[in-house]
Structure 1
């Protein structure tokens, strides 16, 4: 581990690479960094979803609606009041959606007032926090006074002060209890309010229809006194009516105040990333249902001229009784005499609920103020149960101001204090809109997309501009009544008291502390967010039909009528936390920060500094979800989340048409059941045939890609077994070696491989079980079927043969459940190709799989509804990682029908949303596209060349923020046809791996397809994950930046003249270490020790350099193992040894394989004494061995070159070289490599890097000549 005090790496690490990588203490300074904040208050997340939903309602429906709405109708008329409430409702909704985006991304313990200090200006946070707190504290005194007045409805002789004292104590007790108790109280209080409002609506409909003493009402009161009422200005003109409308906005705002409590409660809510968005979405329905409809019904059953409506205009709390409520007035007018008493009882619960929320909100605001340093730190001190008792008591103390209202003199002061509350809501709302705009700028500065937000609101950020403008307008104009009919100083002062106080607080803080405005790049988006990221909560879905129905309705978003204008992602689907986390980590680093960052102080002699991904500098990524630690968890989490979605698809063969039908699909649920049954059956068979072993053991898997391959692998995982995959085209000898080396007792295979296994059985002592993925019955005569024949042959060799169906039936009958693995268990032993010797078994764990898959999701992203194409061999770890990634993203996987030549036919049917391949296939694609477009004659070719040139210029724009591979017009008219011809018109990305992609081809494919094409680098030992190009980097010729799960460094190679001190960039062998790195080579300690350093670094054998942006560029191989463009590894020294042994006239041999080419070329030094006779025979003339000039002259004759190539072909056939191991062109020289020209070591070993450097142009000529001579037909789509 690292010594944190020094920031140095320790050498005391085990040989196994999987050991924990060190953590580093980084000074992040400003850019993209999480600032060192005070410890967060220890509030407990104990509020459940139902609590939060009712808190949002209970904090909103209060005296403002039950009593104050009467004043609004009296001043503006029924239609004027309705429009005012609708208008303010839109403002409130803009605030709530803005708050929702921030609070779900940063659900901080405390109050949302902290956002202003973190995003805009500390002085704004100070002023906003204190005035908002004061509004809640003073309103608490109002609510306490109201309780006494309401009780006087039944007995006016009881002093109000008694009830102020009693309920003051009760509310304090409530708030000193754990937050879950507060949530439960509010849940029931809010339920009473909801029932009352719904009951009143039903009552209003009945009264309006004629059930009351006034008979049928209809819209009578909209006609007389009229829809609008003039106010303050004499006359009945439009201006007077507008004044009445505008005068009600503050009252409407007071009614809505408390809606934002969702943001305060987010810091104490379970799973805020899910519950808060749900509560925000339902805000729209609360506004429409509980406010707008209530005002509508009040306006049709109570005339605006009723004198009782103005009773609520009394000073202080004098009007807070049932007689002032328009609800009671409606009941009295209808002649229902019992209703006022019921309404009064409801009002009592309303004010108690409001008082309870006042103390809760005020105390949490104080916590937030203390957290930001704007209040004494002891305000954020909590009890063991998470209650900030100092804040509770301090806020509750202001409730004693309620006694002021008992006396006449105190009532005037109390009225002034209450005036602060009404406008403070608008000040807070405008500040929240401003915070959201600043939040958007901060996201943009960090290159974070809004798409990754747990809650992405509709119409933002424009909706925040709308809310900010009208909130400020209302604040500035709300005191206009003090000018009518003439200027009144007292009224003016009262109207603007809260604004004056806000300005004083802001200016005072700014003058005293002089804080600077927060720059977008410096905004703190991390404190509190990272804590929430690391927490997980169980999701409990509704089980009743009405619960599911309500969830469906409320989950549809804020406006059902706007469904057509909303995306599925925004409205119907909130991505799971791990996908949101992946999207967040996918974002570009802040300006000036490299993609891969060198950690200061980690360099060692002969080694570079340690590099890590810019967003993993402190800790390497293990998983995107703490609950997902194994490949078993990856599949199970998705299958449980979306059981009915497509999972695995294939094209059945139609024997009638002799062709393959369209894709058929298995759902996640079906695959889950089959893998569980097959996994249980595998264990039962091992018990049955006495080959079950304690602990983990392997199961062989030998087949082409197909759904059954993946079901088998998932089945092994479900029982803590591991698969040992065998390439479908592997030779019998290599297959025999792997089965024996891995000690496999069971091999699951396709039907064509069963005869090979039967032939190999005498040399496979451990093999006892063969399971066929294909049926063995085809309707043949009993006793003469394929099954009978194969079983008879197997039985004679001690083998048992089963079909997949039989094993699944056995598993179902066993009732055996999962035996889930742990992160340290083996997920697979993946055998290498064995280029330099026997294949090595790479031991990979579930922890490796999850870390690599996490990085796969970060690189390419996956989502529900995505489709992946599977054709790369699943025995290769690259393809396996791709399918893990698809599973965790919730995508479906379609398998090709088995013929690679007809792959495009499969793609056209499948229409994948992403495509992963190798350079060899991309080269075929590029050739076909060029042939069909830019190489065409006439107008078509000219237009294509113009489009490619224009898009290339856009891609290479020197301003990275403007560089793009897409074009609004050309992509629709041209690129879409190109991708459709490949079946890739839906592809958002393409990935190239296994070998370098030629930069020219890379850039051409980018512009031709208008798609992100990413090049990556990985090895079997790294679970195919190490580096990858991000979508925002449009360079080519590199492998991109480090994955967040791995770290890297370079080691100098003096013998190859590569040094970590080279300029301008370090060069050396690439070493890797991280959570994705393999455990060991199976049963091969020597190779493990050779490959892994003492401090846990894996020697990749690849030589690379790292540029200024932290991009990795492979430039050579240390072990002299070549990798061709199709991904095949070649050992040139082995081939050179064969050539030198077989062809005596060759004295020196250098075989070269360019990573951008698919074949080999060579430079050979001839032995004159033996070459002269050979040349003489070929050329038909005598060349003396001693005549060096004649020998040299003959080397340029093309007849000799072709003769040598024929000899090389003969040698290749004799030694059974693979096609890619055959040499296609040569250059002949006398002593091309010498110690003098620095191409041989003193021990006469060839120095390959200098040789390449010296003969680079010659090698390029050899490739060019060979390419021209090849007569292979043009690749077809």
Structure 2
């Protein structure tokens, strides 16, 4: 018998022993778990209908009476309230179906209605009255920066970090009020645009609310955009004042040459260093964040509260196609989405959130704001300091997550994919015994979780060390920005012992359309429509998607409600193309294709711009293929490309370095660097074969699997202009950069 056969027999015997022990344990503990966990409740919640077809003619009325809990005293007294849906009678036909949520408004939603909270300025005052002395925003103290010698002799700068320093809700409200007044003292006027160009941090949120209080539209620009894209946003909005950070001031020194309207720079200070103000244009006024707050504290200027129809934010999209567009988001839009989020999410006053995604994205801004509405403490972090192994954390010291011990966070699928691959990589490199334990524990937990049970013993003994990666107390991740692959969703749910809730929305719909139910056990779906909007599925004939399709209706997703923005800034033609008003609502054509399941939950299955028709007539959804192949351990990132004149697709692959090195050894290639391996034709063929195998497991058709690949050694980042700040592919830019490689693949 070969050694490999012996290992296989040993694995099977070990697995059999574990399964036998688990069976005995289940028999002994099953009655206890049934009584304590009451799994039928979980199954009942999972099966509930989450949306219905909005057909007012069938109902015989345009009003829907909803019973809501009296939020004034949080008791169980029920008081009916008429929630009028602003729509004419809607019927299902062969061209479209409109869905409406079945969820009732939460107590917080009702409080916002009763208190007539319809602007972000009113919201901040409401929050301040509710939680004046609770800790609100926290920043980790940096004690110093030390040199750390690496094993290869190189010296890296590492932070010596202390504890989190917190400010209360009343302190944050006072800072925001004074910052807004300080900007007025600098000459900023209501309805005059001001840019925030900075990384996510407490001062970002304070500055934003300071602007809201003075009815000054906030222009958000990603810190990772290229110079020309940044200048485009500033010049188009004719901004005179830019709020930035110490770290970005050197970058902005170069951008000033492209932005002649800018006259004032307000910078958020660094904890360790003072700003060198030399080398800037002589007519630029440079003021620190602290000095602006001080000016506001001494100011007699009164706040200028906005109206609900005033512009709160001009948010520049990250621009996956062409030049970034500025989306005009009204105060009404923001408050509407906040009502939806408080109905859909399960966030409690005792939670702690770790904030690190860009606040320049409306998704992060609104999730953090709903946390503030619930009295949650938000501690800020960055990818450079988040975990113990982050690049700026001194060896032997703790990352932000270990110190903060958050219970909830936001994420995007790319980050979750990387966490999943890290877990898989550790398991692959572990001993045979540890692999056996992991496989058994994962399968065991999956089986019982689907039945509505928790597995506390397995969670503590097997998955406990993995949980410590993010502080050990995490219970909820809210994922947005793109569809999350089912395999990643299930792996992280199980291994981190948490619940991931997917959401779906766009900047144009104020990040609101669908949110996954907390109790939904299925993966690969983005949830049902939220309480504040309607989702319409419309036939897309070219892509062969129709609402009459079986087993589920399919078509382009169109979103209607008060969450839909006013349109694109200074782009009336594009606004008219993508937005329209009908049935008393504003609607936005998303370009995404979805199917709606029997319980009213939406699954994103395609995107109109990602569809390519090959020479033989087959349609390939590039995004769908990429989402499946991205879960292959060999792939860090991938861009699939198809030519209408060709019979097959090709792909540009950013490989995972350790996995590629391992594959090279398998095919007999040794002594080469990562960059050299990426140039070898035999490695390209090997990767192509691995992708084909992985694609078959993911149920891709033969014509959907790339027939040739180019291995790309450089990591695609927003700085390169090849992905957006939300890490979505910028296909046109990638195709332009690798045009020669794409031609070579087809020629071969």
1:839 equivalent among 324, 332, 338: 324
Return the alpha-carbon distance in structure 2 between the equivalents of residues 1054 and 1167 of structure 1. 23
Return the alpha-carbon distance in structure 1 between the equivalents of residues 88 and 294 of structure 2. 59
Check if 1:1101 corresponds to 2:591: yes
Closer, same or farther: CA 723–898 of 1 in aligned 2, 3 Å: farther
Check if 1:667 corresponds to 2:667: no
> Contact 2:200–2:358 at 8 Å: present in 1 too?
yes
Return the alpha-carbon distance in structure 2 between the equivalents of residues 720 and 913 of structure 1. 34
Q: Which structure shows the bigger proportion of residues in helix conformation?
A: 1
Check if 1:767 corresponds to 2:256: no
> Contact 1:746–1:769 at 8 Å: present in 2 too?
yes
Q: CA deviation at 1:838?
A: 1.8
* 1:1218-1242 deviation per Cα after TM superposition (whole angstroms, max 9, x unaligned): xxxx999889xxxxxxxxxxxxxxx
2:627 equivalent among 1124, 1141, 1155: 1155
Closer, same or farther: CA 656–1103 of 1 in aligned 2, 3 Å: closer
In the alignment, structure 2 segments of 5+ residues that lack a partner are 1-53, 147-158, 391-398, 631-636, 648-674, 690-697, 716-748
**Residue in structure 1 matched with residue 431 of structure 2 by the alignment:** 937
Return the alpha-carbon distance in structure 2 between the equivalents of residues 770 and 1223 of structure 1. 52
Check if 1:602 corresponds to 2:90: yes
Closer, same or farther: CA 1099–863 of 1 in aligned 2, 3 Å: same
Q: CA deviation at 1:946?
A: 1.9
Return the alpha-carbon distance in structure 2 between the equivalents of residues 650 and 846 of structure 1. 28
> Contact 1:1162–1:1225 at 8 Å: present in 2 too?
no
- Residue pairs, 1:297-446, within 5 angstroms: none
* 1:540-573 deviation per Cα after TM superposition (whole angstroms, max 9, x unaligned): xxxxxxxxxxxxxxxxxxxxxxxxxxxxxxxxxx
* 1:672-706 deviation per Cα after TM superposition (whole angstroms, max 9, x unaligned): 1111111001112126xxxx4xx512210011111
Closer, same or farther: CA 27–636 of 1 in aligned 2, 3 Å: same
Return the alpha-carbon distance in structure 1 between the equivalents of residues 487 and 525 of structure 2. 12
> Contact 2:57–2:91 at 8 Å: present in 1 too?
no
**Residue in structure 2 matched with residue 679 of structure 1 by the alignment:** 180
**Residue in structure 2 matched with residue 626 of structure 1 by the alignment:** 114
Return the alpha-carbon distance in structure 1 between the equivalents of residues 589 and 514 of structure 2. 15
**Residue in structure 2 matched with residue 889 of structure 1 by the alignment:** 374
Closer, same or farther: CA 716–851 of 1 in aligned 2, 3 Å: same
Check if 1:720 corresponds to 2:215: yes
Closer, same or farther: CA 1266–860 of 1 in aligned 2, 3 Å: farther
Q: CA deviation at 1:897?
A: 4.3
Closer, same or farther: CA 999–900 of 1 in aligned 2, 3 Å: farther
> Contact 2:222–2:318 at 8 Å: present in 1 too?
no
Closer, same or farther: CA 886–1151 of 1 in aligned 2, 3 Å: closer
Return the alpha-carbon distance in structure 1 between the equivalents of residues 193 and 123 of structure 2. 20
> Contact 1:913–1:989 at 8 Å: present in 2 too?
yes
Closer, same or farther: CA 1166–26 of 1 in aligned 2, 3 Å: closer
Q: Which structure shows the bigger proportion of residues in strand conformation?
A: 2
SS of match in other structure, 2:209: helix
**Residue in structure 2 matched with residue 615 of structure 1 by the alignment:** 103
> Contact 2:509–2:564 at 8 Å: present in 1 too?
yes
SS of match in other structure, 2:293: helix
> Contact 1:677–1:812 at 8 Å: present in 2 too?
yes
**Residue in structure 2 matched with residue 744 of structure 1 by the alignment:** 239
TM-score, L = length of structure 2? 0.70
**Residue in structure 1 matched with residue 549 of structure 2 by the alignment:** 1062
Q: CA deviation at 1:633?
A: 2.5
Closer, same or farther: CA 646–823 of 1 in aligned 2, 3 Å: same
Check if 1:986 corresponds to 2:476: no
Return the alpha-carbon distance in structure 1 between the equivalents of residues 645 and 305 of structure 2. 62
SS of match in other structure, 1:1054: coil
SS of match in other structure, 1:676: helix
* 1:753-783 deviation per Cα after TM superposition (whole angstroms, max 9, x unaligned): 334433333432321111111269967xxxx
**Residue in structure 1 matched with residue 143 of structure 2 by the alignment:** 654
> Contact 2:355–2:379 at 8 Å: present in 1 too?
yes
2:602 equivalent among 1112, 1115, 1118: 1112
SS of match in other structure, 1:655: strand
**Residue in structure 1 matched with residue 355 of structure 2 by the alignment:** 870
Check if 1:967 corresponds to 2:455: yes
Q: CA deviation at 1:989?
A: 1.4
Return the alpha-carbon distance in structure 2 between the equivalents of residues 1004 and 918 of structure 1. 15
2:194 equivalent among 688, 699, 721: 699
> Contact 1:1149–1:1163 at 8 Å: present in 2 too?
no
CA RMSD after TM alignment: 4.1
SS of match in other structure, 1:978: helix
Return the alpha-carbon distance in structure 2 between the equivalents of residues 639 and 1223 of structure 1. 61
Q: CA deviation at 1:902?
A: 4.3
Check if 1:857 corresponds to 2:331: no
Return the alpha-carbon distance in structure 2 between the equivalents of residues 728 and 743 of structure 1. 19
Closer, same or farther: CA 1259–624 of 1 in aligned 2, 3 Å: same
Check if 1:921 corresponds to 2:415: yes
> Contact 1:701–1:748 at 8 Å: present in 2 too?
yes
- Residue pairs, 1:569-580, within 5 angstroms: none
* 1:1169-1201 deviation per Cα after TM superposition (whole angstroms, max 9, x unaligned): xxxxxxxxxxxxxxxxxxxxxxxxxxxxxxxxx
* 1:1048-1089 deviation per Cα after TM superposition (whole angstroms, max 9, x unaligned): 111111111111222222111100011211111111110110
Return the alpha-carbon distance in structure 2 between the equivalents of residues 823 and 661 of structure 1. 42
TM-score, L = length of structure 1? 0.42
Return the alpha-carbon distance in structure 2 between the equivalents of residues 644 and 1083 of structure 1. 43
**Residue in structure 2 matched with residue 540 of structure 1 by the alignment:** none
Return the alpha-carbon distance in structure 2 between the equivalents of residues 980 and 786 of structure 1. 40
> Contact 1:848–1:1076 at 8 Å: present in 2 too?
yes
Closer, same or farther: CA 606–716 of 1 in aligned 2, 3 Å: farther
> Contact 2:387–2:470 at 8 Å: present in 1 too?
no
SS of match in other structure, 1:864: coil
Closer, same or farther: CA 23–885 of 1 in aligned 2, 3 Å: farther
SS of match in other structure, 1:650: strand
Closer, same or farther: CA 1166–1118 of 1 in aligned 2, 3 Å: closer
**Residue in structure 1 matched with residue 560 of structure 2 by the alignment:** 1073
**Residue in structure 2 matched with residue 1016 of structure 1 by the alignment:** 503
- Residue pairs, 1:468-479, within 5 angstroms: none
**Residue in structure 2 matched with residue 949 of structure 1 by the alignment:** 443
Q: CA deviation at 1:827?
A: 1.5
Check if 1:828 corresponds to 2:309: no
2:528 equivalent among 1041, 1045, 1048: 1041
SS of match in other structure, 2:440: helix
Closer, same or farther: CA 708–1225 of 1 in aligned 2, 3 Å: same
2:203 equivalent among 708, 711, 728: 708
> Contact 1:1151–1:1162 at 8 Å: present in 2 too?
no
* 1:944-975 deviation per Cα after TM superposition (whole angstroms, max 9, x unaligned): 22221121112223xxxxx24x2233233333
* 1:587-642 deviation per Cα after TM superposition (whole angstroms, max 9, x unaligned): xxxxxxxxxx9x9962366632211101369xxx8984432222223222222222
> Contact 2:688–2:706 at 8 Å: present in 1 too?
no
Closer, same or farther: CA 883–1262 of 1 in aligned 2, 3 Å: farther
> Contact 1:1149–1:1162 at 8 Å: present in 2 too?
no
Return the alpha-carbon distance in structure 2 between the equivalents of residues 950 and 864 of structure 1. 33
> Contact 2:385–2:400 at 8 Å: present in 1 too?
no
- Residue pairs, 1:138-177, within 5 angstroms: none
Structure with greater Cα Rg: 1
> Contact 1:1162–1:1226 at 8 Å: present in 2 too?
no
* 1:130-164 deviation per Cα after TM superposition (whole angstroms, max 9, x unaligned): xxxxxxxxxxxxxxxxxxxxxxxxxxxxxxxxxxx
> Contact 2:144–2:272 at 8 Å: present in 1 too?
no
Closer, same or farther: CA 1018–940 of 1 in aligned 2, 3 Å: same
Closer, same or farther: CA 749–610 of 1 in aligned 2, 3 Å: same
Return the alpha-carbon distance in structure 2 between the equivalents of residues 770 and 1224 of structure 1. 52
Return the alpha-carbon distance in structure 1 between the equivalents of residues 561 and 646 of structure 2. 50
**Residue in structure 2 matched with residue 503 of structure 1 by the alignment:** none
